[in-house]
């Protein structure tokens, strides 16, 4: 039995605007991808596969220093990148996590909670937090069409955890649909599992598992690292 993790880190980081892949951005002297890997290992992950932008594998290895990880080339979108990581997983894993490099400050307790829930028999597990803002549906001119009831909505994070055959089947179906020219709309791996009819369950997420997307997020990550453990 072992826990394996795929870390999709092949995004361009356009919204961050540093002119380099986001996973290579540095917070407190360490790259986002190195921090993400360290958090997974602290949470009990045995094997990590990092997915780099195609052609950017060497830069990714340098950003990871002496960490014992496998680096593979990713794809144009996140689903394709995770799929590439799946092909490099060890056969003996009983839990597979998918964790965004961009969620570099996710606490190890969240990792442990996700792994524990998969080992308790759930095929797909995601960390979720309540939605804080009021949500509105908007029209083409930006006008408000409706207020959305947020009482049963959740914002979901990573790591998302899966029984390995479930994640493979979910990505297999996504690949088949793409090959048939059908769009794959899911923005996370749990969405692909939902498409298979799998019940996805939640564990409590954590605000520190926020996704570094914009310069403000990077500044927030820097401030949190400087402040030390909360």
Ligand X SMILES: C[C@](O)(CO)[C@H](O)COP(=O)(O)O
* Interface region with ligand CTP, contact rule CB under 6 A, candidates 2-10, 61-69, 160-168, 193-201: 2-10
Question: Is residue 100 involved in binding ligand X (CB under 6 A)?
Answer: yes
156 binds, among ligand CTP, ligand X, none (CB under 5 to 8 A by kind): ligand X
Report how far residue 55's alpha carbon sits from residue 208's, in angstroms, rounded to the nearest whole number.
Answer: 31
Report how far residue 230's alpha carbon sits from residue 227's, in angstroms, rounded to the nearest whole number.
Answer: 8
Residue 30 burial by Cβ neighbours in a 10 Å radius (0-12, 13-18, 19+): middle
The residue among 13, 14, 95 whose CA lies nearest residue 48 is 95
Of 132 and 227, which has the nearer Cβ to ligand X? Answer: 132
Distance of alpha carbon 213 from its chain centroid, rounded? 13
Question: Is residue 122 involved in binding ligand CTP (CB under 6 A)?
Answer: no
**DSSP SS3 for 88:** coil
Q: Which residue of 188, 205, 209, 218 would you call a contact of ligand X, by CB under 6 A?
A: 188
- Contacts of ligand CTP in 65-94 (CB under 6 A): 74-78, 81
Question: Is residue 22 involved in binding ligand CTP (CB under 6 A)?
Answer: yes
Question: Is residue 131 involved in binding ligand X (CB under 6 A)?
Answer: no
Q: Which residue of 10, 36, 74, 78 would you call a contact of ligand X, by CB under 6 A?
A: 78
Please give the residue whose beta carbon sits closest to ligand CTP in the complex: 11
Question: Is residue 99 involved in binding ligand X (CB under 6 A)?
Answer: no
9 binds, among ligand X, ligand CTP, none (CB under 5 to 8 A by kind): ligand CTP
- Contacts of ligand CTP in 90-119 (CB under 6 A): 100-102
CB of 119 to ligand CTP, least distance (A): 25
Please check whether residue 35 is in contact with residue 105, taking contact to mean a CB–CB distance below 8 angstroms: yes
CB of 95 to ligand CTP, least distance (A): 20
Residues 6+ apart with CB under 8 A from 82: 6, 8, 51, 98, 171, 189
Question: Is residue 40 involved in binding ligand CTP (CB under 6 A)?
Answer: no
Q: What are phi and psi of 210, to 5 degrees?
A: -60, 155
The DSSP line for 27-86 is ETTEEHHHHHHHHHHHTT--EEEEEEPTT-HHHHHHHHTT---EEEE--SSHHHHHHHHH
**Which residues form the interface with ligand X (CB under 6 A)?**
78, 100, 156-158, 187-188, 211
């Amino acid at each position: 039995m072992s826990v394996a993790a795929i870390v999709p880190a092949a995004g361009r980081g356009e919204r961050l605007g540093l002119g380099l892949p986001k996973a290579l951005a540095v917070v407190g002297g360490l790259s986002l991808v190195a921090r993400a890997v360290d958090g997974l290992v602290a949470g009990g992950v045995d094997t990590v596969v990092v997915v780099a932008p195609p052609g950017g594998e060497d830069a990714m290895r340098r950003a990871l220093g002496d960490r014992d990880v496998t680096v593979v080339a990713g794809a144009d979108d996140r689903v394709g990148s995770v799929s590439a990581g799946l092909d490099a997983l060890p056969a003996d894993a009983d839990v597979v996590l998918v964790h965004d490099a961009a969620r570099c400050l996710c606490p190890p307790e969240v990792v442990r909670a996700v792994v524990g829930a998969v080992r308790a028999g759930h095929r797909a597990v995601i960390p979720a937090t309540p939605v804080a803002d009021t949500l509105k549906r908007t029209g083409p001119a930006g006008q408000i069409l409706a207020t959305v009831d947020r009482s049963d909505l959740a914002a979901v994070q990573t790591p998302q955890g899966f029984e390995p055959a479930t994640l493979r089947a979910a990505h297999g179906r996504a690949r088949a649909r793409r090959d048939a020219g059908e769009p794959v709309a899911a923005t996370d791996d749990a969405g692909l599992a939902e498409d298979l009819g799998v019940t996805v369950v939640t564990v409590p997420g954590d605000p520190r598992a926020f996704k570094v997307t914009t310069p403000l997020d990077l500044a927030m990550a820097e401030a949190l690292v400087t402040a030390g453990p909360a």
